[in-house]
Each structure stands twice: as C-alpha cells, then as structure tokens.
Amino acid sequence: MIRVAVQHRLGSFDLNAQFESDGRVTALFGRSGSGKTSLVNAIGGLIRPACAHISLDGEILVDTEQRVFVAKHRRRVAYVFQDARLFPHLTVRQNLLYGRWFTPPAKRFGQLAQVVELLGIGHLLQRRPRNLSGGEKQRVAIGRALLASPRLLIMDEPLASLDEARKAEILPYLERLYDETKVPTIYVSHSVLEVARLADTLVVMAEGRVEATGPTADVMARLDLPPFTDLIEAGAVLEAEILKHDDSFGLTVLSLCGSRLWVPRLDRHRVGAKVRVHIRARDVMLSTRPPDRLSALNVLRGTIAEIGPQRGPIRDVRLDCSGQAILARITRRSVESLHLTEGTTVYAVIKAVGLDRQTFGAASRHANGADTTAIPI
C-alpha cells in the first residue's frame, strides 16, 4: 500500500495531490504539465516537498510534520525514465548489474538469469548501448531497475520516446513484468492505450491535483473526466475470455457481456485465457433495434446508464452490458433523434477491425499460458 499526500510549489505551479493505492500497477495519467512527474519525484526523493506525508507498506518515507525525510538512496525506489540513461562505456551485462551493488545482499531478490529471461535480452549481454534499438535500451533499463531489488518501481513515460513499432515490441514485456514480479509500480503516462493495458489503479491528474482515483475500469468509464484529460481515445476496459481461434478467417472469439466478440486473432493467448479489452468509444455505434445483416460482427445488448454532458456536437454515453461498462461517443443529434435516455435498451455495434491487437492485454498472471517463474520479493 502506498499513501501519498503532497503540497509543493514549483515556480508558479502548485502541486496539491493525494492518493492511496494497493494495486500492482498504479498509473498516473493526465495531460502534459498536470504534475505527474513532480509527484513521482516527490515519492522517489528527487524533490523535498514543502508539506507531505508519503508512506510505503506502512513505512514513512516523508512526513514534514514529524521532520522525517528518508534519503532517496535509502528508499529502494528504482526509476525508469523516458530515455534509458544507460552507461555508454559498459556492456549490457555490466549495466544490468550496476544498481545491484547499492542494495545490501540481505535485501536483494531476483537473479540476473531470471531478469534476462523475463525481458528477452539474453542475446544482448555483450553489446554496448550504441548497438541497441530504442526498445532494447528500455528493456535493459527496466532490467537494471529490477536488479536493484526495489520496493517500488517508478516508470516515467517509459515509451514516450519510442515509435509505434518499438512500443508494440515492449508492451508485452511490460505486461509480463507486472504479472511475474511482486514489485509495485507507479506508471506515469498520457497514453490511454498503455494505461488500459497495464494499470490496475488509475489516478487522473489535472493542474497539480488528483481529479479521480480507483480501479482502471471504473475510472475510465466515468463521463466527467474528458475535460481534464483530453481523452481522444476514451473508452472502456473490460475483461473477456477466449472461446476459440478461427484460423480460417484469422479471428479470435471472446466471451464478453454474455455475448461473443470477434476480434483479430490473438496469437499470444490460449483458449480459456482471460484478456483485458479496451473498446474505444469512437468505435461504438448505437441502435435501438437489433441490427440485421451488417458487416460489423459484434453486437452487444445493453442499457443506457448515463449520458454525459454535451461537448460541442458530441455526447458520450455509458452502457451497462451485463454488469460491465461500455462507452459510445456519438453526436447530440443522434441522442435526440433516437430519443435516448437513461434506462433505454440499445445495441452496441462494434467493428472487429476497430479492435486492433494493441487494444488487448493479459488480464491475469497466466493469461498468455506461459510457463514462467515469478521473481519473489
């Protein structure tokens, strides 16, 4: 459990943020300049806040009233930044082991071989950073942080400097990392896709303050947050189960909301696995009647739970589909012409091609069916 309450002034910027989380991965999400990095810098000991109380698993790291401030090198908090910050004169192996020497032997956990296997970097050990791709550098940086045996891992926009191909390469490693280690992580991002795939707990920040906190699926289903987050990719996060793979058409069939959902084939996941699905609001159309003879394969029945405030010509609609929330982004004209109100039964039409592979993540530790060994803390 991490508890954070920080008040601090940085130039003309006021940081006044509080949250608690016992999640495996806690995402700090918001626009650039919302205070995310300043808050994690306070947690990691990189700044000394004017007024704060920060504790990790009951141990106080900062309490300004009691004049407690644990030095950053004693907090056992590891950082992964946007740029890997590897030592250019050291090999990958030497970079990985560098931080380990700063941790007392009795507090070390995880072995080099385990971390190397976890991150798929065994073939890189003798290379130097100049001979690595951006994604490879970030995997090495993550491995170095893990081998420092941290009590808390902070990842500050770790994929922000990578192109889409490198992001797609590293996201599965991040999922595996969080599923197989017991190291709690604070993940800073302004990417809805990353948050939807990785985070258990979501903390939304705006102008130095926390606007919302809670389970990721619950927070992302709220309709009052777009003004604070510019959620262009607003959508719902749901859990589904893989029923089968249809090799003849290159599709996978999921069980979701009491119905079947057809999506592009999920090669990394086995039948019976639980997966996390991010359905973007802009990919959902609504009908008040059961649609027939459509090219769209997916139709989910639900009830309108909430219609959000108007924002220009747009209104967001939250549906209750067998207890799970789905968001639809439609025009105000559609809301009026269909006579949509809370309680109305509707049918959500979702294009299979709108659900690309990057919108899926593992929902449980063994969701991908891999036989792996966890790294104990």
**Longest distance between any two alpha carbons in the chain, whole Å:** 69
Inter-helix orientation angle 164-180/112-119, to 10° = 140
Q: Structural domain tally of the chain?
A: 2
Domain harbouring 62, CATH code: 3.40.50.300
Helix (H) / strand (E) element for 260: namely strand 259-264
Where in the sequence is the domain holding 241, given as residue range(s)? 236-362
Specify the pLDDT at position 358: 65
Cβ atoms 189, 195 nearer than 8 A: yes
Q: What is the DSSP letter of 217?
A: H
CA angle 259, 265, 268 (to 5 degrees): 110
Query: Does any domain span residue 372?
Result: no
Residues 12 and 57 placed together within one structural domain of the fold? yes
Domain boundary (181, 201, 227) is at 227
Does 219 map to a domain?
A: yes
Q: Which of 227, 257, 285 is the last residue of a domain?
A: 227
One domain for residues 209 and 89: yes
Please tell me whether residues 358 and 217 are part of one structural domain. Answer: no
Q: Domain check: are 216 and 250 in the same one?
A: no
Residue 9 forms part of a structural domain = yes
Q: Are residues 190 and 318 in the same domain?
A: no
pLDDT in tens, 185-201: 999 998 888 888 899 99
Residue at a domain's end among 227, 250, 272: 227
Residues of the chain with pLDDT under 70: 226-233, 356-359, 361-377
Residue 375 lies in a domain: no
Q: What is the pLDDT of residues 119-132, one digit of tens each?
A: 999 999 999 999 99
370 lies in a domain?
no
Identify whether residues 193 and 281 lie together within a single domain.
no
User: How big is the CA angle at 168 (ends 167 and 172), to the nearest 5 degrees?
Assistant: 105
Q: Is residue 326 part of a domain?
A: yes
Residue 210 inside a domain? The answer is: yes
